[in-house]
Amino acid sequence: GQQLNQSPQSMFIQEGEDVSMNCTSSSIFNTWLWYKQDPGEGPVLLIALYKAGELTSNGRLTAQFGTTRKDSFLNISASIPSDVGIYFCAGYHNTNAGKSTFGDGTTLTVKP
């Protein structure tokens, strides 16, 4: 089946620093999604990307749909303590029976 490699697995940064994480796959996806899971809660959608090369921002977050359709990147600028959580990428392809494939997550810790 389709698998996603998400890296890094964890990050420890100082408040104010920028963050970058990425997902790669051996398969092509039609849609890339980035979710954030706050401690004790379920994941919530941050950004959805629908086209190869697309660059989309949501506040301090910017995500890109790779031109090969096999990767995606998420950047967080000027991190703040509430950015703490687990970030998941997810890929969707219309041949996968309506299911998304999730990465293993990047755990972000921000030190004040």
Partner 1 sequence: DADVTQTPRNRITKTGKRIMLECSQTKGHDRMYWYRQDPGLGLRLIYYSFDVKDINKGEISDGYSVSRQAQAKFSLSLESAIPNQTALYFCATSDSWAYTQYFGPGTRLTVL
CA–CA separation, 34 and 26 (whole Å): 18
The size of the interface with partner 1 (CB under 8 A), counted in residues, is 24
Contact status: 85 vs partner 1 (CB under 8 A):
no
Of 51-59, 64-72, 76-84, 85-93: span binding partner 1 (CB under 8 A): 85-93
Q: What is the 3-state secondary structure (H, E, C) of 63-91?
A: EEECCCCCEEEEEECCCCHHHCEEEEEEE
CA 54/CA 67 separation, integer angstroms: 8
CB of 104 to partner 1, least distance (A): 4
Kindly state whether residue 98 participates in binding partner 1, applying the rule CB under 8 A.
yes
Instruction: Identify the H or E element spanning 33.
Output: strand 31-37
Footprint (CB under 8 A) of partner 1, residues 1-60: 1, 6, 9, 31, 33, 35, 40-45, 48
SS3 content of the chain, % helix, strand, coil (to 5): 5, 55, 45
The smaller minimum CB distance to partner 1, of residues 73 and 88, is found at 88
Report the interface residues with partner 1, using CB under 8 A: 1, 6, 9, 31, 33, 35, 40-45, 48, 88, 90, 92, 97-100, 102-105
